[in-house]
Amino acid sequence: MHASALDLEALAREFGPAARDRKLAALQALADRPSPRGRRLRALEAALEFLRAYPDDAEILARVRTAVARLPATARVVHPFSYDVARRLSRLHPEGIEIAWDELDDEGPFLEALGLLVNPVDQQGLDDEDVSLQDWCAAVRPAGVPTDLALFLHLLERSGLPAAVREFLFTRAGLPLAFTGPVRPRIELPGRAPVCQAEPIPRAHFPIRPVIETPLPRPARGGQDVIDLALRALAVRALEIYPLIHASAAAVRVHALERGIQIAVVGVEPQWRTPLESLWFFLVLKNGAPIAYGPAGIFCGVCEMGINVFPEFRGAEIRLVDALLMRVLHQAYGARHFHLVPYAMGRDNPDAIRSGAFWFYRKLGFVPTNPGVEALARAEEARMAEQPGHRSDRRMLHRLSDTAAMLDLSGGRCRPFPFGALGLAHSAWLAREFAGDRARAARVCAARIRRRLGIPDSLALAGLAPLLCQIEDLAGWPRRDLDLLGRILAAKSAPSESAAEPLFQRLPRLENALRALAGTAVQD
C-alpha cells in the first residue's frame, strides 16, 4: 500500500500533537503520488472520511479536502434498488444509474413487465428473437431518455397504473442496477463551522438520561437537498431504507447539536404512511459528514428504532450519538419509551453479534424484556467482575440476543403496542362485516366517521375509518375527545405528521380502545 495511505489508515483515530504532525506529513505525501486503486483506494477513502469528520485542526481539514479533491470523482455500485429510489437517483444522476445488463441472469420477468406497458404492435418487436432485449430498449428510447432504466421508468410513469402497481412491476422485473455516484468523502452537508478534535475522542461512560433530557435547540427546516444527500450517502454503499424511499421534502428538520453533530429527521409522504405509527428516517452527521442512519417508528410514546453506523465510524463516539438521537426523538417527536427488537440485539444479525450490540445497549441503560436473558446477563456481569478481561464469546452473544430491550422514560406508562394482534382482529372483522370487501369497507366506514366527526375526506381517514368503526362506544365519546380524534386524522394527512404523535398521547381513550380490539384476536 502507498505509505501515506497506510499511515493515514493507522493514524486516523489517533490524536495529539505527535499524531497530528504525522497525519500532516502523510497528507502532504499524498499530493506527490498517484492515487491508489482497488482495495487501497477504498482504505484511503475510509481514512479521509474519518479525518473529514474528526479533523485535528483547520490545516488538517484543508489538507483532507485537497486529498479528497484528487480522488476519482465517482464510484460504481450494483444493487437492486427499489422503484422510488431508482426514480430519485435517476432524477439526481440522469446518466448515472442504468440496468446492469451483464448481471441480469433472467430477462423473463423484465420482459413480462414490459409486455404490460406497451401496445400489441410493440409486443411483436419484443417477441422478435433476433433482437436482444437490450438492443430493443436502445432502439425504442425516445429523445431525452438517456438510459434503458430511464425508458422503463418512462413507460411505468406514463402507464396510468396506480403507484402500488407500478412499484410491484418494477420489483417483479428484478433488475440489478449500476449506480455511479460521488465517492463517499465528497458527500457532505455544508454550512457549519467544523468542530476540531485535538484530543483523543472521549471514551468514558456517562449517564444517558440527563443527555436525553437536556433542552433541545430549535431545529432548522431542511428540504430536498437533505433527502438527496441521504440518498447518495446510502446508495453509494448499496443501501436503502423504507422511510427514505418515500421521503417527504416538507417533513425535514435538521437538529444542530454539540460536538459538530447534526441529526436530520425526515418524514414520509402522506400516501405511504402507516395509519397509527409516525415513521421517520434519520441521518447523523459529524461536521457535515454522514456517519450513521436508521428508522424510527413512534406510537403512543413507544419508539422502535435502530441505528446503523457506517463502518468507517464504528467505535468512535457512538454512545454520545445514540444519546443525542434519543434526545431528539424524545423532545421533538414524542418518544418516551425506546424499544429495540431482537434483531438489534443480534438475533439473525451477524453484524450486531460481531459488534457486541447487546452489551453496547445494556451499557446505555436498555433492559432485556426476556427475564431469562436478564438473568443470563447478570451472571455474565458477575463473571466479568471476578475475571477482569473476560468477554462474552459468540455463543454467549447469540444466547443474549434472544430478547427485545427497552429504555423507559415514561415511568411504566408506555408499553409496546400489539400491532400484529390488531391487524389480525381487523382482518377478521372485515371478513365478518364486509365479506372481505376492503374497498367497500373503506367507503362505508369513511362516510360514517366523516359524519360523526364533521371532518373532510383525507388519506388518514380512508386508512383508519374501518378501524374506528369497530370501537363500539365511539358515538358516546365526549366532544373534546372526538375533536382530538379529528385533529389526529388531520395531522396524519398533513405535509409533516410530527403533530400526530403528541395528539395520540393526549387521547389515551383511543389507545385503550385499540388495545381492546387487539385483545379479540387472542380470545378468538
pLDDT in tens, 176-202: 999 999 999 999 999 889 999 999 998
- Give yes or no for residue 521 having a pLDDT over 70: no
At residue 306 the predicted structure's pLDDT band, cuts being 50, 70 and 90, is confident
At residue 4, the pLDDT reads: 57
CA 259 to chain CA centroid, nearest Å = 23
Give percent of the chain above pLDDT 70: 98
Query: Residue 17 class from Cβ within 10 Å (0-12 exposed, 13-18 middle, 19+ buried)?
Result: exposed
- Give yes or no for residue 520 having a pLDDT over 90: no
3-class state of residue 311 by DSSP: helix
At residue 524, the pLDDT reads: 38
At residue 34, the pLDDT reads: 79
At residue 3, the pLDDT reads: 52
At residue 444, the pLDDT reads: 96
Q: For residues 48, 255, 196 and 45, what is the CA-based torsion angle, rounded to 10 degrees?
A: 0
Q: Note the pLDDT tens digit of each residue in 395-411.
A: 999 999 999 999 999 99
Instruction: Give the integer Cα–Cα distance in Å for 410 and 41.
Output: 48
Identify the residue with better confidence: 137 or 202: 137
Summarize the confidence of residues 335-364 as an average pLDDT. Answer: 93
Q: Give 237's DSSP letter.
A: T
Q: Tell the CATH topology of 208-408.
A: Aminopeptidase (3.40.630)
Averaged pLDDT score across all residues of the chain? 93
Q: Note the pLDDT tens digit of each residue in 12-26.
A: 999 999 999 999 999
At residue 103 the predicted structure's pLDDT band, cuts being 50, 70 and 90, is very high
Contact in structure between 52 and 184 (CB atoms under 8 Å): no
At residue 204, the pLDDT reads: 79
- Give yes or no for residue 438 having a pLDDT over 60: yes
Q: Note the pLDDT tens digit of each residue in 457-495.
A: 898 999 999 999 999 999 999 999 999 999 999 999 999
Contact in structure between 406 and 338 (CB atoms under 8 Å): yes
At residue 523, the pLDDT reads: 42
Q: Note the pLDDT tens digit of each residue in 48-60.
A: 999 999 999 999 9
Which strand (E) or helix (H) includes residue 403?
A: none
At residue 5, the pLDDT reads: 59
φ, ψ of residue 3 to 5 degrees: the values are -60, -40
pTM: 0.93
How is residue 104 written as a grid cell?
Answer: 441480469
Nearest to 43 by CA among 103, 2, 91: 2
Q: Where are the domains of the chain?
A: 3-73, 76-182, 208-408, 419-523
Instruction: Give the integer Cα–Cα distance in Å for 24 and 60.
Output: 6
At residue 6, the pLDDT reads: 60
What does the DSSP assignment read for 157-173?
HTS---HHHHHHHHHHH
